[in-house]
Structure 1
Amino acid sequence: MSVRELVVLGTGSQAPSRTRNHNGYLLRWDAEGLLFDPGEGTQRQLLFAGVPASAITRICLTHFHGDHCLGVPGIVQRLSLDGIAGPVHAHYPASGGHFFARLRHATPFHEVTELREEPVERDGLVATGPFGELRARRLDHPVDAFGYQLVEPDGRRMVPELLARHGISGPDVGELQRRGSLRGVSLAEVSEHRPGQRFAFVMDTRLCDAAFALADQADLLVIESTFLTEDKRLARDYGHLTAAQAARVAAESGVRTLVLTHFSQRYTEPERFHDEAAEVFGGRIVVATDLTRVAVPRRR
């Protein structure tokens, strides 16, 4: 049975706290496991979440600030320690290649896993596979940063009543799907349009066009909301979003479920992020906590 869910491993920002680890987000998408921005302590957070390292098929870094990448050495070495052959793909801003090299080889270890580095140089397609398309767009942050978007292609959903009406059952259903027609019955006659699902991951950035483009029609949007509006000047100066700005991205982009994260340690009342976002966005809002699991919403 396929699983599509977000496993939140850490929700802090520059400094971890007693209740919030550095960043870390694992998107389980059928056979894929995309690990976004593994900060310090991610390997242990995976243990607490009950997720094996073998679930990781891709590592996606938005940028090279420490709270988004200092967990890379532990993850890379754990993959080999567990004897995972791979391949595991690594995506990161190409301009930070020298940083990734240092992280990957931070200490000596017996490397077993095939880690394929696939740096992101510009906006556009990053990877394709059974999951669909992984795309990236450059964000507005003091250092080179990219957000990611996972887009599943549209498909067809078989309608049992229509199949029965045309006398198609059992192995013939699969044959019809493969061939497109069977005994004069076309696939369109016994199925309906099934929209593909979308996921978006937007970390450290000011409000910018790329954030809206990444979030467009996302079923699940994970987005930083480091500050509250009362500190919007700090957000602008340091290249971050407020909860209200993150909610605006969701509202104007047709997002279904909004996951707020990457909270400054200055705030001790997480419900304030929900309240501020709810004034702008009317959909489901999740103020992420460490080890939260958020299911990708059922298809539209």
Structure 2
Amino acid sequence: MELEFLGTNAGVPSLQRNVTSMALRMYEERRSFWMFDCGEGTQHQILRSSLKLSKLEKIFITHLHGDHIFGLPGLLSSRSNQGGTTPLQLYGPPGIKKYIDTSLTLSQSRIEFELEVNEHTGGVIFEDGEVRVESRLLEHRIDSYGYRIMEKDKPGSLDLKRMAEYGLKPGPIYGRLKRGESIDLEDGRVLTPADVLGAPKKGRVVTILGDTRPCANVLPLAEQADLLVHEATFLHELHETAHNYHHSTALQAAEAARDAGAKELIITHFSSRYKDMEHLQPLLAEARSLFPKTLLAEELVLFPVTRHED
């Protein structure tokens, strides 16, 4: 599991940075990637990456401001034109379906794959046997949501030495034990998964927030997250400006990570006044003064999601 930023600027693109979009790559886990927000120019950024639109499984939209959604119609059309045929699910606030339907209808764009648009107002918005996604409302000028992606725990590894002691060879029995089933041995004993399995592998938690100023719902979304992605539009010297525009400072992002017990923090959504990586260093220093395990989002750079065992 890796996170790749396709845009890290706030409001409008600059010569150095694109507007908001990021991809959660889960090639080992699901053979696909999920996208969070899709600002204008996102498909150009994808061309510069190793991502393939045919592998895009889900899109999650935090809110309906243009710098987070203007790239959607083009990206959906490109996915179809490039031969993407697998179903695609899109999740976002009320109004996202009207935006997609209107854009595609007026432009006479044809989508050759099944597109399922799910509008939500928070809660559990997706769950299968591997992952659960929850969402909560944040505090912005319009409804903006954060997403908590929770990987489910996986069974521990089989102890091959113990299996050999029981006279068991590789085969279907291994799979049954991994699925949690008990096995009747020839001598009448019952072999349970606990007899031969190591400790379960703890699932990772990734929290990706939309635009927000500090609010109560940030903490439950980010609680004990292995990785928290939080906007840091301004330095804290501009905290009044941040508050008035419903954004956060780098220091406020660090406070959220600390208070939630997050393991790592990546700050993003930078104001255009911070023109390049050199000008972003003060934001990084400010966040690290309170939360040392902070990184700056960099476009087209892979950030591994580390599994932190408590």
Provide structure 2 residue ranges, at least 5 long, that are not aligned to the other structure: none
Other-structure match for 2:135: 136
Other-structure match for 2:218: 211
Give the CA RMSD over aligned residues. 1.7
Deviation at 1:103, TM superposition (A): 3.8
Other-structure match for 1:260: 267
SS of structure 2 residue aligned to 1:118: strand
Alignment length (residue pairs): 295
Other-structure match for 1:186: 192
Provide structure 1 residue ranges, at least 5 long, that are not aligned to the other structure: none
Other-structure match for 1:272: 282
1:296 to 294, 297, 305: 305
- Mapped to 2, the partners of 1:24 and 1:212 lie a distance apart of 22
Amino acid at match of 2:192: S
- Mapped to 2, the partners of 1:165 and 1:230 lie a distance apart of 65
1:10 to 7, 10, 13: 7
Other-structure match for 2:147: 148
- Mapped to 2, the partners of 1:257 and 1:48 lie a distance apart of 26
Of the structure 1 ranges 162-171 and 136-145, higher mean CA displacement relative to structure 2 is found in: 162-171
SS of structure 1 residue aligned to 2:219: helix
- Mapped to 2, the partners of 1:139 and 1:130 lie a distance apart of 28
User: Percent sequence identity over matched residues?
Assistant: 33
Q: For the Cα contact (< 8 Å) 1:19–1:290, is it kept in 2?
A: no
Q: Provide Cα deviations, 1:84-106, integer angstroms capped at 9, x if missing partner.
A: 12210010101444334334445
TM-score (norm 1): 0.92
SS of structure 1 residue aligned to 2:85: coil
Deviation at 1:259, TM superposition (A): 1.1
Other-structure match for 2:243: 236
Other-structure match for 1:80: 80
Q: 1:151 to 1:141 in 2, by over 3 A?
A: same
Q: 1:230 to 1:196 in 2, by over 3 A?
A: same
Amino acid at match of 2:273: R
- Mapped to 2, the partners of 1:104 and 1:220 lie a distance apart of 35
Question: Is 1:177 the equivalent of 2:174?
Answer: no
Q: 1:59 to 1:166 in 2, by over 3 A?
A: same
- Mapped to 2, the partners of 1:70 and 1:176 lie a distance apart of 48
Q: 1:19 to 1:105 in 2, by over 3 A?
A: farther
Q: Provide Cα deviations, 1:228-283, integer angstroms capped at 9, x if missing partner.
A: 10110111111111111111111122222211110001124111111111111132
- Mapped to 2, the partners of 1:156 and 1:86 lie a distance apart of 29
Q: Provide Cα deviations, 1:176-218, integer angstroms capped at 9, x if missing partner.
A: 1235212312112222132111111102011112111111121
Amino acid at match of 1:235: A
- Mapped to 2, the partners of 1:128 and 1:208 lie a distance apart of 26
Of the structure 1 ranges 61-70 and 247-256, higher mean CA displacement relative to structure 2 is found in: 247-256
Question: Greater CA radius of gyration, 1 or 2?
Answer: 2
Q: For the Cα contact (< 8 Å) 1:86–1:115, is it kept in 2?
A: no
Question: Is 1:119 the equivalent of 2:119?
Answer: yes
- Mapped to 2, the partners of 1:158 and 1:6 lie a distance apart of 26
Listed as ranges, the matches of 1:8-157 within 5 Å are 8-29=5-26, 30-31=29-30, 32-105=32-105, 107-121=107-121, 123-157=122-156
Q: 1:169 to 1:104 in 2, by over 3 A?
A: farther
SS of structure 1 residue aligned to 2:211: coil
Deviation at 1:286, TM superposition (A): 1.6
- Mapped to 2, the partners of 1:272 and 1:65 lie a distance apart of 27
Deviation at 1:155, TM superposition (A): 2.9
- Mapped to 2, the partners of 1:78 and 1:97 lie a distance apart of 18
SS of structure 2 residue aligned to 1:127: strand
- Mapped to 1, the partners of 2:106 and 2:41 lie a distance apart of 15
